[in-house]
Structure 1
Amino acid sequence: MPQTPSQTRDIRRSAFPKDFIFGAATAAYQVEGHKFGNAGLTHWDTFAATPGNVLRAEDGATACDQYHRYGADMDLLKDGNFDAYRFSASWARVIPEGRGAVNREGLDYYDRLTDAILERGLQPHLTLYHWELPAALSDLGGWTNPDVHRWFGDYVEVIDEQIGDRMASIATINEPWCVSYLSHMLGHHAPGMRNIRAAARSMHYVLKAHGEAMTRLRAKNRKNLGIVINFEHAAPASDSEADIAAAATQDATNNRWFIEAIAKGQYPKEALVGLEAHLPKGWQDDMAAIAQPIDWLGVNYYFRQLVAHDADSPWPHTKPAQGHLATTQMGWEIYPEGLRALLTRLSRDYVGDLPIMVTENGMAWDDHLRNGEVNDPERCAYIADHMAAMQDAIDAGVNLKGFFYWSLLDNYEWAFGYERRFGMVHVDFESLQRTPKASYHMLKTLIERT
């Protein structure tokens, strides 16, 4: 049998650059417990309360209760030999109505969390927005409202004033494609819209919000600012011209739209074919603020997607095709080579020597706690093979600076509720007991400092 990438590479810490960061990531609504600390309602609360949107209508009210258990969770990172924690702040926890009055309890929580991270010798890496829009702003159109960038900028200044000076890095937005296209065109995430005009406008306004945050944070002399973009490895399902064109269109909407706006101040022509008519008038005037320089790029990568032409559907005339490789519990095809190809492409075509961090990579699996242990060899192999792909990218000249496993904990997996488990630490959602999995112990050994 052929060897896997991890069998041909040394993937211990010592084989990576000396300043390479190993961390783990979570997001506020997925782990904190949104019912605690006077947080306001989010559009995920209302989305989950609407029949048919979320598995078993589960929400993030309790989640992993990191709101009270953050210290023990940071101990897991310290004891696991990790360097850093990537977390997000909840807009609705900080400003319950999205605008106006600030929730002091929310700010105090992020103060305590930051202290706990630093006290354990870990680096705090903040993401300002990871999908939990305050419900009061959703009432006003949310990410389709032309004023949303200003609302976001006001929130950014509030949370930055509290903890920004202690952050190792700050990301403006997590996965803008999910915030916009997945949520407004495909309807899979809150607010659950299926409207091409809403999709196009949210795709632009989320980038405008990124630019607004960058402008305000630069005015306060903040350094180490970036954005986290999710990418898939989009490939044609066959060598037919139709499938090749379909894959190019999907690559333009799912991958290139956001990175080209930031790196080049433009949108890809293959995406504009379907979306330009629905963009707000004068959108070109916003591109300079959107394309202002960032200090690093965050890359989230999970899978390959084969794309076929679909003549029977409206633009973008695409449909997914079944891959031939193993899949995760999410049904995502496991393709480590896609990470190497993506990182080298980004470096070559978009960002040059700009520092890149793999801010999310991981897999969901149907894990079970047996005799006090969770054996997850599939996840161990997934992590090892993707770490090997990162090394291949470094060898190819990519300025890769870090890897954050997604996720530290099993958590609230959005529309899939609590069924899909991404964590390297198992969470019993009744008792909330944490149990490190075999993958946690593997990583602990691999990244031990020698």
Structure 2
Amino acid sequence: YAFEQYVELITNAFGTRVYSYATLNEPFCSAFLGYEIGIHAPGLVGKQYGKKAAHHLLLAHGLAMNVLNKTSPDTQNGIVLNFTPAYPLTDTQQDIDSAKYADDYLNQWYMKPIMDGKYPDIINQLPEDHLPDIHPGDMELISQPIDYLGINFYTRQVYKAHPTDIYEPITPTGPLTDMGWEVYPQSFTDLLVSLNKTYTLPPIYITENGAAMPDTYNNGEVNDLDRLSYYNTHLNAVHNAVEQGVVIRGYFAWSLMDNFEWAEGYLKRFGIVYVDYKTQQRTIKNSGLAYKALISNR
């Protein structure tokens, strides 16, 4: 309810100067990385917190949409979700089931309530003290129409069956970003096509896609061929999804500049513009020059 009041204050303050609002960005990070496993604030750790926090975030989204529809009906109003597609390690039924469970637990838990007004069926397998308190009208509030869905994508995750925790993430191999995330552009296409087949989607924007790389500044330039390659393959992955019928209205590279990155602080550089943190000098990286050339000629 405090968030509901906040949205009203913000929309009244900005008036007609805003084109688009996202109620939330990556509620998974706040609920799971925050409340459930404690990588992020507020410092609580436990499965008994994660799904409750997720439900309250989604309720806040629903209340925010009510306010936006009233105080800012002419803006594009939606939400931004992050997805890490889940793949089985082998084609055994146990690994396939584990990857499906992980996908429902980590990805669809935030998507399905908004699109379909209900949580994934795995809610029936969760211990009672892990469950959110769902009141009458909650799911209708969460699942009201949105003008667009923002999708943030960086990598995939491979899983195998685990005897007690249902699924176990596998440490990635192969080409990795500076975050230790696997570079696997096919999963971007797979994700977009799968979402399009599973749900009746609103217009889609790719609101974040990019890679942290160990950049080096030499003689006035940053020759980040690894990041340039990432963008090339992932923009083609988006194109392949469009060719298969996914309606995508826009794409945003993450990020314009090197920035403060959640729990990593200033250690990881995602920008297409290099920032010297001591002098604040900005230098467009070669990936940024290539991106400029692409968007200037289309």
What interval of TM-score do these two structures reach, taking the shorter chain for normalisation? over 0.9
- Report the CA distance shift for 1:409/1:240 in structure 2 as closer, same or farther (over 3 A): same
The answer as to 2:55 corresponding to 1:204 is yes
- Give the aligned partner of residue 126 of structure 2: 274
Greater mean deviation of Cα atoms: 223-232 or 159-168 = 159-168
Say which of 255, 266, 269 aligns to 1:407. 255
SS at match of 1:303: coil
Report the count of equivalent residues. Answer: 297
**Equivalences for residues 23-422 of structure 1 within 5 A:** 150-220=1-71, 221-274=73-126, 277-283=129-135, 285-311=137-163, 313=164, 315=165, 317-352=166-201, 354-422=202-270
Q: Where does structure 2 lack aligned partners over 5 or more consecutive residues?
A: none
SS at match of 2:246: coil
Mapped partners of 1:164, 1:339: distance in 2 = 36
Aligned Cα root-mean-square deviation (Å):
1.6
CA offsets 1:264-296 (integer angstroms, 9 cap, x no match) = 000001244226543343445300000000011
SS at match of 1:351: coil
- Report the CA distance shift for 1:284/1:309 in structure 2 as closer, same or farther (over 3 A): farther
Mapped partners of 1:408, 1:419: distance in 2 = 16
In the TM superposition, residue 409 of structure 1 has moved relative to its aligned partner by: 0.9
Mapped partners of 2:209, 2:56: distance in 1 = 26
- Report the CA distance shift for 1:276/1:435 in structure 2 as closer, same or farther (over 3 A): farther
Supply the AA of the counterpart residue of 2:207.
Answer: T
In the TM superposition, residue 211 of structure 1 has moved relative to its aligned partner by: 0.2
- Report the CA distance shift for 1:270/1:190 in structure 2 as closer, same or farther (over 3 A): same
In the TM superposition, residue 324 of structure 1 has moved relative to its aligned partner by: 4.2
- TM-score, normalisation: structure 2: 0.95
SS at match of 1:166: coil
In the TM superposition, residue 339 of structure 1 has moved relative to its aligned partner by: 1.0
In the TM superposition, residue 234 of structure 1 has moved relative to its aligned partner by: 0.6
- Report the CA distance shift for 1:302/1:319 in structure 2 as closer, same or farther (over 3 A): same
Asked if 1 retains the 8 angstrom alpha-carbon contact of 2:52 and 2:133, the reply is no
Say which of 265, 276, 280 aligns to 1:432. 280
Mapped partners of 1:271, 1:320: distance in 2 = 20
Where relative contact order (Cα < 8 A, 6+ residues apart) is larger, the structure is: 1
Supply the AA of the counterpart residue of 1:239.
Answer: D
Asked if 2 retains the 8 angstrom alpha-carbon contact of 1:211 and 1:291, the reply is yes
Mapped partners of 1:269, 1:447: distance in 2 = 42
In the TM superposition, residue 164 of structure 1 has moved relative to its aligned partner by: 4.7
Greater mean deviation of Cα atoms: 437-446 or 236-245 = 236-245
Mapped partners of 1:374, 1:283: distance in 2 = 53
Mapped partners of 1:358, 1:208: distance in 2 = 23
Mapped partners of 1:288, 1:262: distance in 2 = 9
SS at match of 1:159: helix
Q: Percent identity between the aligned chains?
A: 41
CA offsets 1:207-258 (integer angstroms, 9 cap, x no match) = 0000010011112224411100000111011222222221111100111111
In the TM superposition, residue 421 of structure 1 has moved relative to its aligned partner by: 0.6
Supply the AA of the counterpart residue of 1:417.
Answer: G
CA offsets 1:108-137 (integer angstroms, 9 cap, x no match) = xxxxxxxxxxxxxxxxxxxxxxxxxxxxxx
SS at match of 2:159: strand
- TM-score, normalisation: structure 1: 0.64
Supply the AA of the counterpart residue of 2:185.
Answer: P
Mapped partners of 2:123, 2:209: distance in 1 = 26
- Report the CA distance shift for 1:280/1:389 in structure 2 as closer, same or farther (over 3 A): closer
Q: Where does structure 1 lack aligned partners over 5 or more consecutive residues?
A: 1-149
Asked if 2 retains the 8 angstrom alpha-carbon contact of 1:204 and 1:279, the reply is no
Asked if 1 retains the 8 angstrom alpha-carbon contact of 2:224 and 2:285, the reply is yes
- Report the CA distance shift for 1:257/1:238 in structure 2 as closer, same or farther (over 3 A): same
Asked if 2 retains the 8 angstrom alpha-carbon contact of 1:358 and 1:404, the reply is yes
In the TM superposition, residue 198 of structure 1 has moved relative to its aligned partner by: 1.2
